[in-house]
Amino acid sequence: MDYRDRHVVVTGGTGALGSAVVAGLIEAGAVCHIPYINAGEVERFPLRSHGRVALAGKVELSDEAAVRRFYEGLPQLWASIHLAGGFGMSAVSGTTKPDLMKQVEMNFVTAFLCCAAAVRSMERAGSGGRIVNVAPRPALEWRSGAGMVAYTASKAAVAALTVALAEEVIRHGILVNAIAPSTMDTPANREAMPHADPAAWAKVEDVAATVVFLASPENRVTRGAVVPVYGRG
């Protein structure tokens, strides 16, 4: 895949999946623009000093004005990949409205605002583009979201956003898709689930490869898909 001279936004780019996605994009020749809040995570980000990585600090992705400023300051945008979000495990009986709204803000609102800003940028350029969201397995298999209903609902909204937006912007040559990963084999998941079998989990590099393809110029026909990227579990 050839991303030479193409500019790509990766939200959540300093996390486990984000780092693998950025590595794949860099290998393919892309210039990656990564907004972040957590400075500690950036310190652990292995590509922070790479010449084709541009880090933008203190960009709150649930703040419409901040997102607009960030995107309007970018060079001509080819793709926008939205991996930022947050997880919440809580039974409905123990979930307050602030808990619910936190999930909606972290997952749905951030994706919506970044999609909107990316579309504006791509429409201005008139050269098409690609958008990739993340709506994990419970966003497709709702029954698996028992015990984390607020999280599941916020991510199901991202799946719906993806499919509806894909229809809206295809006339501008913008292809919109999402991935739906199952549990991924990350250090954080291994620590949180020490008795699980990580061999059955989706490998981060494999999930990242799917993202890199969907955002690439080589993806000419796939749009409006929420692609399952499951392990063996």
Q: What are the pLDDT digits (tens) for 124-137?
A: 999 999 999 999 99
pLDDT of 185 over the 90 cut: no
- Entry pTM: 0.95
Mean pLDDT of 188-203: 87
Structure token pair of residue 218: 């080589």
pLDDT band at 151 (very low <50, low <70, confident <90, very high): very high
| Burial class of residue 220, CB neighbours in 10 A (0-12, 13-18, 19+) | exposed
48-104 pLDDT, tens digit per residue, is: 999 999 999 999 999 999 999 999 999 999 999 999 999 999 999 999 999 999 999
Mean pLDDT over 125-153 rounds to: 96
Residues 106/86, Cβ–Cβ less than 8 Å: yes
Q: Quick check: 192 pLDDT over 90? A: no
Which pLDDT value is given to residue 231?
83
Least confident of 21-30, 120-129, 136-145, 178-187: 178-187
Average pLDDT, the chain: 95
Angle separating helix axes 16-27 and 204-214, nearest 10 degrees: 50
Question: Edge-to-edge, what's the strand order for the sheet holding 31-36?
Answer: 53-57, 31-36, 7-11, 77-82, 129-134, 174-181, 226-229
Range of lowest pLDDT (116-130, 174-188, 204-218): 174-188
In this prediction, residues 20-49 reach a mean pLDDT of: 95
Q: Report the Cα–Cα distance between both ends of the chain, in Å, rounded.
A: 30
What the chain holds in terms of domains, given with CATH numbers, is 7-229 (3.40.50.720)
**pLDDT (0 to 100) of residue 114:** 98
Residue 233 has pLDDT above 80, yes or no: no
User: What was the pLDDT predicted at 183?
Assistant: 85
Q: Give residue 186's pLDDT.
A: 85
pLDDT at 32: 98
| pLDDT top residue among 232 and 169 | 169
Stretch 212-224: mean pLDDT: 98
pLDDT of res. 202: 86
Cα distance between residue 161 and residue 21, in whole Å: 22
As a whole number, mean pLDDT of residues 211-217 equals 98
Tell me: pLDDT of 107 over 90: yes
Report the distance separating Cα 204 and Cα 185, nearest Å: 6
- Cα(176)–Cα(131) distance, rounded to whole angstroms? 5
pLDDT at position 195 is: 85
